[in-house]
Structure 1
Amino acid sequence: MRKLKYLDYWLFVPYLILSLFGIVMVYSASADIGSQNGGSPGSYLMKQLFFVILGLAIYTFMVLMNLNKLRNKKILKYASIIAICSLLFLLIIGKTINGAAGWIRFGPISIQPAEFVKFYLIIWLAHVIDRRQDAIAIEGWWAVMLRPVVISGAMIGLILIQPDLGGATINASIVFVLLLASGFNWKRAITYFLGAILLVLGIIFPLAVKISEMGFAKNNYQLQRIVAFVNPFEHSQGVGQQLVNSYYALSNGGILGVGWGNSIQKTGYLPEPNTDFIMAILAEELGLITALGVIALLFLIITRTVLVGIRSNSAYHTLICYGAATYLTVQTLFNLGGVLGLLPITGVTFPFISYGGSSTWTLALVMGVVMNISARQKRYRATH
């Protein structure tokens, strides 16, 4: 309990504000669809309230725990088995939502394993890289890191074929940054990264659009999202509906918004108003200034997480912080990119604000560990 005296309020206060504000926005964004689905206007509110309360309990547990327990070989081994088996299990009986079979149903709650894989990859790769630093220097990077690369790639591949492009990309980004921090040649890494971007923009996107225009992929949800990204207004009554109505929501909101609860787009025009596109509803109701305030709080958490990592004298702790910052940054950019039409819609939630148990609990796990690391640093400085 002594760690609670050393809480980093630059991390905790924004986390708490965003989580509570997320409950408010989920209620506003989901009241109409809750009624339309045969439930009550507050049905999503009660679920999100439960998700956040349990998330705070998880967060507290992670702050108080001994982080060395996360490095236990048996725990890491069993976590790896559970992660891979869960992803394989999805291919057989996964619940399909928005074209991806990425959820396992437990009564009224659906669990998304790809979310928890983010946390696993952060703590596992941080442990592996920290333990093998000397071996990397002596035996060479590929000789030591090939097995972790293959295991990480297998998990990302299983997420990709659900298909969950957003989840796969976020997990791949976490792995990429941590491997880069392990000593991988950064010039080669940048070459691979730029090559991947050119491949997507120069070949995959144009090919996907051409295939869809020829009528060969009318039922392929992922390809249709690319078509919607390229020509949203040409498909405003079909696959482009989400993006077009997101634009309308942003336009309606302006600087100050139309008032909390007064969104027009959430009443049936904009699909997924409480998850993927909750920031569009937030901007419509509360305006650009409030949306920028939310982004600023998230930016504060990310920069503080990086700072905690830089200050740490433990490579393991530093890598965890870098992985956490990458997770938050990429997920935020993917969500906002989809809402603004700068990136294809990938079904990625906005951290802390969007509805969802798996996302809320994964954020609690990751940020609880970062807070634990920061509390350790503050306690060390206070006692030395």
Structure 2
Amino acid sequence: MRKLKYLDYWLLVPYLVLSIFGIVMVYSASADIGSQNGGSPLSYLIKQTIYVIMGLCILSFMTMMNINKLRNKNVLKYAGYAALGSLALLLVMGQTINGAAGWFHLGPISIQPAEFVKFYVIIWLANVIANRQDEIQLEGWWATMRWPLIICLGIVGLILLQPDLGGATINASIIFVMVLASGFNWKGAMLVFGGAFLSVVGILFPIVVKVSEMGFAKNNYQLQRIVAFINPFEHSQSVGQQLVNSYYALSNGGVFGVGWGNSIQKTGYLPEPNTDFIMAILAEELGLITALGIIALLFLIIIRTVLIGIRSNSAYQSLICYGTATYLTVQTLFNLGGVLGMLPITGVTFPFISYGGSSTWTLALVMGVVLNIGTRQKRYRLTH
């Protein structure tokens, strides 16, 4: 109980508020889906409540544990085998949802390994970089880090093969930021990665436009999403349906919303209202002000996580914080970008609010570790 006074409530309270708010919004967004599928309107509510309760147990365990146990060689080795093995196995027997074979179906729930891999990449890469600080200084970054980087690229490649562009990009972003924090030449990295990105976009965009005009994207779910992003209203009855109805939801909601439970778009017009597009339903029912409040709470968590990383004297702990902040930031931007039509839809959930066990538990894992680090810092400040 003595540890409770050292908890970082700037992290814990927003986490709890967002998780509880997520349960409320999952129920509102999914009640019609449950009824339409011949089930109970409470089915998603019950599942999400269980996911959040289990997440709180995970959060508590990770907060109270000795963080150095995560650096154990055997723990990291077998977790790595599990991560790579599950991603490889998905290519053979993964359950396909929304065009990506990224799930294992286990009874009433579906597990998405790419979510848990985010946590593994953060703790494994932080440990590798922290252990090799002296080698990086003496032998150079590339000579020291080339094999870990190749393993990281292999992980991203396996996710991309599902194909899960959103998951691959988030994991790649985590790796990129942690690599920069390890002492890599950031100017060179930004030049190389920025040039590569602009080149790919410059080549890909005209090709996709041409492909959409010729109708070749009909059988490719990933291409359909890009086609919908380019011109959603031209494809409003097919691949552009999600984005068009997301616009309608945002327009209906205005500043103050139409009232909780009163969304029109969730009644069959907007697919995935409880996962990818839950923020569109939230904005329709509770308005722009509430949506901005939710985003502000999430960015409070992100800013606090970065501050904890900056204050830490441990390279390992700082890298975990930077990786976690990157994970939350990129996932939030990808989800909001898809909802607002500023980015192609990638199937990325909104942290803490969207329905899903894998995402809820992964968030609990990373937040538990960051709370652990913040608790250690606060205890040290108060006792020294």
Deviations 1:263-306 (A, max 9, x none): 00000000000000000000000000000000000010000000
Counterpart in the other structure of 2:264: 264
By how many angstroms is 1:38 displaced? 1.5
By how many angstroms is 1:158 displaced? 0.3
Counterpart in the other structure of 2:220: 220
By how many angstroms is 1:201 displaced? 2.4
By how many angstroms is 1:10 displaced? 0.3
Secondary structure at the residue paired with 2:216? Answer: coil
Alpha carbons 1:62, 1:369 under 8 Å: kept: yes
**Residue 110 of structure 2 is aligned to residue 110 of structure 1:** yes
**C-alpha distance in structure 1 between counterparts of 2:340 and 2:200, whole Å:** 19
Superposition map of 1:314-329 within 5 A:
314-329=314-329
Alpha carbons 1:209, 1:223 under 8 Å: kept: no
Counterpart in the other structure of 1:65: 65
Identify unmatched segments of 5+ residues in structure 1. Answer: none
By how many angstroms is 1:5 displaced? 2.3
Counterpart in the other structure of 1:246: 246
Counterpart in the other structure of 1:310: 310
Counterpart in the other structure of 1:49: 49
Secondary structure at the residue paired with 2:256? Answer: coil
Report the TM-score when normalising by structure 1: 0.99
**C-alpha distance in structure 1 between counterparts of 2:263 and 2:151, whole Å:** 45
Secondary structure at the residue paired with 2:193? Answer: helix
**C-alpha distance in structure 1 between counterparts of 2:128 and 2:307, whole Å:** 22
What letter corresponds to residue 44 of structure 1 in structure 2?
Y
Deviations 1:110-163 (A, max 9, x none): 000000010000000100000000000111111110011000100100000100
By how many angstroms is 1:322 displaced? 0.3
**C-alpha distance in structure 1 between counterparts of 2:340 and 2:192, whole Å:** 27
Superposition map of 1:188-227 within 5 A:
188-227=188-227
**C-alpha distance in structure 1 between counterparts of 2:200 and 2:270, whole Å:** 27
What letter corresponds to residue 103 of structure 2 in structure 1?
W
Secondary structure at the residue paired with 2:54? Answer: helix
By how many angstroms is 1:29 displaced? 0.2
Please provide the CA RMSD for this pair.
0.8
Q: Which runs of 4+ in 1 moved over 6 A?
A: none
**C-alpha distance in structure 2 between counterparts of 1:342 and 1:105, whole Å:** 32
By how many angstroms is 1:42 displaced? 0.7
**Residue 187 of structure 2 is aligned to residue 187 of structure 1:** yes
Number of equivalences: 384
**Residue 31 of structure 2 is aligned to residue 36 of structure 1:** no
**Residue 11 of structure 2 is aligned to residue 14 of structure 1:** no
By how many angstroms is 1:192 displaced? 2.1
Counterpart in the other structure of 1:175: 175
Alpha carbons 1:3, 1:63 under 8 Å: kept: no
By how many angstroms is 1:383 displaced? 1.0
**C-alpha distance in structure 1 between counterparts of 2:93 and 2:66, whole Å:** 36
Identity %: 80
**C-alpha distance in structure 2 between counterparts of 1:2 and 1:69, whole Å:** 21
Alpha carbons 1:259, 1:286 under 8 Å: kept: yes
By how many angstroms is 1:177 displaced? 0.2
By how many angstroms is 1:214 displaced? 1.5
Alpha carbons 1:257, 1:283 under 8 Å: kept: yes
Secondary structure at the residue paired with 2:105? Answer: strand
Identify unmatched segments of 5+ residues in structure 2. Answer: none
**C-alpha distance in structure 1 between counterparts of 2:99 and 2:208, whole Å:** 16
Secondary structure at the residue paired with 1:218? Answer: helix
**C-alpha distance in structure 2 between counterparts of 1:379 and 1:312, whole Å:** 13
Secondary structure at the residue paired with 1:262? Answer: coil
**C-alpha distance in structure 2 between counterparts of 1:210 and 1:59, whole Å:** 48
By how many angstroms is 1:205 displaced? 2.3
By how many angstroms is 1:213 displaced? 2.2
Secondary structure at the residue paired with 2:218? Answer: coil
